[in-house]
């Protein structure tokens, strides 16, 4: 079967388009429509067991799914307003579970000052959840395509929550409460500075590649901030911390670029407003994809790995490990 991206292009190619839509395919995290002088933002996301969320705590599951859905609006620099969903639940989810799940969703909506409009409900053998988020942006919409050579790459939080969640699910471990961060305040702040932005829904590595492709640039990554529990888990599992960066279960942080000439002002005002952002690298010429860690420098310019190309997650992980340890990596 063709890749997911090619199938999306195929479907989009036969659909009627609105002259009011302001973004191209893949150019932004949400769809942007010019409506009576205001920019409306739309996002739809589907989640299922394939997204590797643990089910042991329904409130956290609901909160994380809603936060993940909302993040696309935030990555575009917008304000999320309305939320709709379609819930398809298995028989093992009783009334108490569904209520707790819904309370988690509601908690994420209140945190972002949003309201729930309605949705659909059904039952099936496995759970499936689809969220639609509507927002607006009366300022600058941040695209994935605005990064320029010389820009610095930042992220709103430490990396690894999503991939650690997947690891714990695989191992059947229900300890540790891992909740995604809602970056609504950070989104409003970085809107004035960012040249490009994307949420890390598919993992940091994939997001970097998307910005590089849409902006026709390359990147060099050198300082990756990992969450403490992720570093501990990597050590106990005897695997590289870099897998927390490369894996495709994201933490829904905002990854964005700042023009070099704006960086000093950005840092000063971020500190003044109580924000802490992490600089992880730099935008460079197209074709360059370098990641440095404490042990080595790895050239990813000729590597194309996607979890969706593997039927078995273990095969995918082994291929990532092989890439990290291959002979043509070189020391610092």
pLDDT digits (tens, 9 = 90+) for 212-262: 999 999 999 998 999 999 999 999 998 889 999 999 999 999 999 999 999
pLDDT at 309: 75
Phi/psi region, residue 176 (left: phi>0; alpha: psi -120 to 50; beta: rest), is: left
Same-domain check for residues 101 and 202: no
Same-domain check for residues 159 and 125: no
Of 89, 108, 137, the position where a domain reaches its end is 137
Same-domain check for residues 309 and 174: yes
**Which residues in the chain show pLDDT less than 50?**
1, 327
Same-domain check for residues 127 and 163: no
pLDDT at 1: 41
Same-domain check for residues 44 and 177: no
Same-domain check for residues 223 and 312: yes
Same-domain check for residues 231 and 175: yes
The pTM is what?
0.93
13 within some domain: no
pLDDT at 330: 55
6 within some domain: no
pLDDT at 200: 97
Pairing of strands 296-299, 289-292: antiparallel
86 within some domain: yes
293 within some domain: yes
The CA distance from 224 to 222, in Å, is 6
230 within some domain: yes
pLDDT at 37: 86
What contacts 165, CB < 8 A, 6 or more positions away?
52, 53, 54, 178, 249
Range of the domain at 221: 152-326
21 within some domain: no
β strands within the chain, DSSP E: 31-35, 38-48, 79-89, 115-123, 128-137, 152-155, 194-199, 218-221, 254-258, 278-284, 289-292, 296-299, 330-331
């Amino acid at each position: 079967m063709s890749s997911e991206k090619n199938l999306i292009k195929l479907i989009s190619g036969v659909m009627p388009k609105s002259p009011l839509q302001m973004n191209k395919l893949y150019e932004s995290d949400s769809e942007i429509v010019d409506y009576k002088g205001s920019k409306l933002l739309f996002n739809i996301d589907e989640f299922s067991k394939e997204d590797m969320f643990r089910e042991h705590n329904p409130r956290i599951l609901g909160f994380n799914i809603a936060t993940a859905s909302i993040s696309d609006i935030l990555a575009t620099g917008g304000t999320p307003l309305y939320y709709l969903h379609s819930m398809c639940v298995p028989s093992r989810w009783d009334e108490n579970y569904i209520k707790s799940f819904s309370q988690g969703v509601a908690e994420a909506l209140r945190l972002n000052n949003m309201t729930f409009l309605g949705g659909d409900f059904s039952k099936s053998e496995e759970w499936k959840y689809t969220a639609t988020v509507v927002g607006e942006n009366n300022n600058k919409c941040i695209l994935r395509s605005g990064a320029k050579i010389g820009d610095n790459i930042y992220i709103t939080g430490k990396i690894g929550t999503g991939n650690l969640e997947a690891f714990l699910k695989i191992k059947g471990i229900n300890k540790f409460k891992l909740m995604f961060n809602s970056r609504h305040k950070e989104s409003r702040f970085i809107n004035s500075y960012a040249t490009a932005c994307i949420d890390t829904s598919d993992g940091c590595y994939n997001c970097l590649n998307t910005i590089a492709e849409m902006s026709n640039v390359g990147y060099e990554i050198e300082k990756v901030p990992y969450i403490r529990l992720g570093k501990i888990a990597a050590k106990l599992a005897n695997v590289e911390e870099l897998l927390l960066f490369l894996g495709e279960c994201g933490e829904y942080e905002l990854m964005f670029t700042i023009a070099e000439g704006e960086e000093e002002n950005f840092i000063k005002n971020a500190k003044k407003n109580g924000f802490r952002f992490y600089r992880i690298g730099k935008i460079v010429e197209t074709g360059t994809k370098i990641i440095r860690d404490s042990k080595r420098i790895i050239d990813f310019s000729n590597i194309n790995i996607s979890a969706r190309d593997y039927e078995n997650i273990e095969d995918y992980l082994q291929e990532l490990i092989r890439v990290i340890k291959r002979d043509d990596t070189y020391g610092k």
